[in-house]
Amino acid sequence: MKHLIAGIFIICCIKNATAQEGNLISPNIEKKYSLSYKELKEYEGLYQYINNTTLKIAASPIDTILLCIINESRYPFTTIGKDIFLNAVKDSVVFLRNSENKIVGIKSGKDTFNALPQKVSFPKQMWYARPDIPANFTYVYQQPEDDNDGLKTGNLVNTGLDKALLSEMVKKIVDGTYPNVHSVLIIKDGKLVFEEYFYEHNKNKLHELRSATKSFISALTGIAIEKGYIKSKEEKVLPFFPEYTFKHNTDAKKQITIENLLTNKSGLDCDVYNPKAVGNESQMAYENDWIQYSLDLPMVDSPGGIGQYCSSNPIIMGRIIEKATKMTLPGFAAQTLFKDIGIKHFEWNFKPDPSSGETFCQLNIRSRDMAKFGLLYLNNGLWNGKQVIPKQWVQQSLDKHSVVAGLDYGYLWWTKYLDANGVRYYGKLAQGNGGQKIYIFKELNLVTVITAGHYNMQSSSNELNAKYILPAFNKK
């Protein structure tokens, strides 16, 4: 199974590496062989995949490339010969034919997956941001509708935002200058004043958050401490798992605290940016017990030392919340955070075992609910008069406690600046691979949400903020 994972699915397994998106794999691999769109369509279809799941293969009419689609994530294949392709990590993927020259499966390494007979369709909305709108359309701003979902709406007038810049942004998303942007939402002064969706996405569609999920785990940790389920952030980690016997159980490992998990300073040998690290989330994804795997890792530093981007840390933290509350993590979220801010529709399969190998325990929610979460943190944990998250916890979460991949880091939150026409704006950020971003700009009383499909490549989320949203405030 490892060969197919390396051949296709490893692209998904590194989905949580989001600290510096520019360091991820570029899709611009030079083509060595050319196939027409009509020829590529021959490979389209539904195929078997790992853990009794399926994947889709689709030919893009936009840029004439073949895409592997797992859940909602798309990964480009580069054509290098007839029936032979490379994935983004340059491993070969070969399509198999029978004696009648019909495609019957995919082979990568030692693994083969059969083509399935079910027909699949790929609607125009998959490929075009607004398929029924002419290329020379003029964007007309509309105030977001009040859906009675707890999020107040308002008009752009008197917000300071530049309607002309936002119109230009929408036009460039629609004409493909910025492809695969799924939604852009802006909250200013407590109200949702801008809300646009593209491709197959709309305000009711759930979107995968990837590593932005980690910031929700941070929030739930603060709530669990405030409610007395967890004594404090100084509690040691290993006593939560008395049923385990861990390898490399040194004195240093016994000192790992909850705060060390939240700051990515556990000291475990796990770092997505260090290829020599023993801990690897791609490997962890197919381990029978992710907690065992993670806490078996050797120590490379004392707890509280250097910051390392390690997805094991929030996974362990999520499991601690479950053990402390005697609830599932999604169940605890539903009874506390989600209930309080009106998140009613979500999907969250938090099972740290191979059944989550494709989803990596990530949360799926609406873009509007991402905006609510950002607004909650902008308002120091207060929602409609109720203190949902302790104010002190919110402030601590957004403060600098670590440096991870060269960026200031709080409790599973990032601090990042954007330069807008020479003016620097510092924001707090929940982010996930593909361009899933919740930006909080406290000084501007502003929250922006962008979702996208730029998996394992540089997303345009930062540029959209820097070129079309923030410059409106440069003269203010």
Query: What are the residues facing 417 on neighbouring strands?
Result: 426
CATH number at residue 218: 3.40.710.10
C-alpha span between 401 and 260 (Å, rounded) = 10
pLDDT of residue 98: 97
> Is the Cα torsion angle 364, 368, 371, 373 positive or negative in sign?
negative
In this structure, the answer to whether residues 247 and 366 fall within a common structural domain is yes
Spatial CB neighbours of 298, under 8 Å, sequence gap ≥ 6: 247, 248, 268, 269, 278
- Final residue belonging to a domain, choices 98, 122, 146: 122
pLDDT of residue 28: 45
In this structure, the answer to whether residues 117 and 223 fall within a common structural domain is no
User: Is residue 335 a part of any domain in this protein?
Assistant: yes
pLDDT of residue 71: 86
pLDDT of residue 359: 87
Q: Which of 465, 386, 475, 476 is nearest to 165 (CA)?
A: 465
Query: What are the CA-CA distances from residue 475 to residues 160, 302, 462, 469 (Å)?
Result: 10, 47, 20, 13
pLDDT of residue 32: 61
pLDDT of residue 61: 96
Any idea what DSSP says for residue 299? B
CATH number at residue 115: 2.40.128
Q: End-to-end CA distance of the chain, in Å?
A: 57
Give me the number of domains the chain comprises: 2
Q: Which of 7, 74, 63 is nearest to 35 (CA)?
A: 63
In this structure, the answer to whether residues 236 and 112 fall within a common structural domain is no
User: Is residue 463 a part of any domain in this protein?
Assistant: no
Torsion (CA) 229, 231, 236, 241 in degrees, nearest 10: -20
User: Is residue 268 a part of any domain in this protein?
Assistant: yes
In this structure, the answer to whether residues 218 and 364 fall within a common structural domain is yes
In this structure, the answer to whether residues 83 and 231 fall within a common structural domain is no
Q: Is 103 helix (H, G, I), strand (E, B) or coil?
A: strand
pTM above 0.75, yes or no: yes
In this structure, the answer to whether residues 363 and 233 fall within a common structural domain is yes
374-377-383 Cα angle (round to 5): 95
Q: Is 77 helix (H, G, I), strand (E, B) or coil?
A: strand
User: Is residue 420 a part of any domain in this protein?
Assistant: no
Tokens of 34: 């050319």
- Determine how β-strand 191-197 pairs with β-strand 407-409: unpaired
- Final residue belonging to a domain, choices 67, 87, 122: 122
Q: Which domain holds residue 95?
A: 2-122
In this structure, the answer to whether residues 118 and 222 fall within a common structural domain is no
In this structure, the answer to whether residues 221 and 97 fall within a common structural domain is no
Per-residue pLDDT of the chain (476 residues; tens, 9 = 90+): 333 333 334 323 333 334 444 333 334 444 468 999 999 999 999 999 987 889 999 999 999 999 999 988 899 999 999 999 998 888 999 999 999 999 999 998 888 999 999 999 999 999 999 998 887 889 999 999 999 999 999 999 999 999 999 999 999 999 999 999 999 999 999 999 999 999 999 999 999 999 999 999 999 999 999 999 999 999 999 999 999 999 999 999 999 999 999 999 999 999 999 999 999 888 899 899 999 999 999 999 999 999 999 999 999 999 999 999 999 999 999 999 999 999 999 999 999 999 898 889 999 999 999 999 999 999 999 999 999 999 999 999 999 999 999 999 999 999 999 999 999 999 999 999 999 999 999 999 999 999 999 988 889 999 999 999 999 999 75
- Final residue belonging to a domain, choices 106, 122, 138: 122
User: Is residue 53 a part of any domain in this protein?
Assistant: yes
CB 369 within 8 A of CB 352: no
User: Is residue 447 a part of any domain in this protein?
Assistant: no
User: Is residue 192 a part of any domain in this protein?
Assistant: no
User: Is residue 362 a part of any domain in this protein?
Assistant: yes
pLDDT of residue 19: 40
